Amino acid sequence: MAPQPDPFDSLAAKYDSWYDGKGRMAFEIELAALRPLLAELPKPWLEVGVGTGRFAQALGIPLGIDPSPALLAKARQRGIEVLYGEGEELVFRAGGFGAVFLLTTWEFLADPLRVLRGCRRVLADDGRLVNAYLDRDGKWGASYVERGRQGHPLFSHARFETYEDVKRLTEQAGFEVVKTVSTLFQGPGETVALEDARPGFARGASFVVLVARPLQAADA
């Protein structure tokens, strides 16, 4: 059976332009939550689901992997070294990365537990997973869930989960969550000002970041 086309391929230009238009302030709020975390992350870095390279370029992540050729082409134009592939089948050697990023990728993973286990395999013992996802109970997540129900060509393929769901799967994959930050409390159409990220998980946040460390046998 031939592989199904990635839904992002036909929407690459529209998806990417969102960051320069309606999504500009939301993106800046998301970056403001992520940037303070970077100094404590060992290198090298990898982004799984790099998309068009917006996050990678803004955060200095040099390498990314994605299953959409159209998105990868745009990431390459932004100076990101990219590879075609899926998070479920990471081709990198074990222990080769200091940090692996999932940045609004979680929503489109076919098998998130398998992706998490793959991330754990390629992380060094002292490495960190940074998973920034859109919480289904936040205003943006709720909006996307409803648009998906209405047949949106992208969000109808997405799965939005709660903090409890994401944390449970992260721990099931062999991680310990060591830090969480929450932001983006303003919803679509009302995101007009920068926000300070809040420590921990705060209900009502649309953008939640979990930082996790891989557990070792000695931790058992």
Amino acid at 4: Q
Domain ranges, ordered by start, for the chain = 9-219
pLDDT at 141: 86
Mean pLDDT of 60-67: 96
Quote the pTM value.
Answer: 0.90
pLDDT tens readout for residues 91-104: 899 999 999 999 99
C-alpha span between 70 and 41 (Å, rounded):
29
pLDDT averaged over the chain?
89
Tokens matching residue 64: 């990314």
Name which CATH class applies to 9-219. Answer: alpha beta
Three-state secondary structure readout of 149-181? HCCCCCHHHCCCCCHHHHHHHHHHCCEEEEEEE
Burial tier of 175 (Cβ tally within 10 Å: 0-12, 13-18, 19+): buried
Say if CB 99 and CB 45 are below 8 A apart: yes
List b or e across 136-170, with b for residues whose CB sees 16 or more CB atoms inside 10 angstroms: bbbbbbbbbbebbeeeeebbeebebbbbebbbebb
pLDDT at 1: 34
pLDDT at 150: 75
- Tally of CB atoms within 10 A around 98: 16
C-alpha span between 208 and 180 (Å, rounded):
7
Segments in 88-138 forming alpha helices (H): 112-122
Total number of residues shown for the chain: 220
Query: Which range is least confidently modeled, 3-12, 173-182, 193-202?
Result: 3-12
Mean pLDDT of 83-111: 94
C-alpha span between 80 and 68 (Å, rounded):
15
Mean pLDDT of 160-189: 96
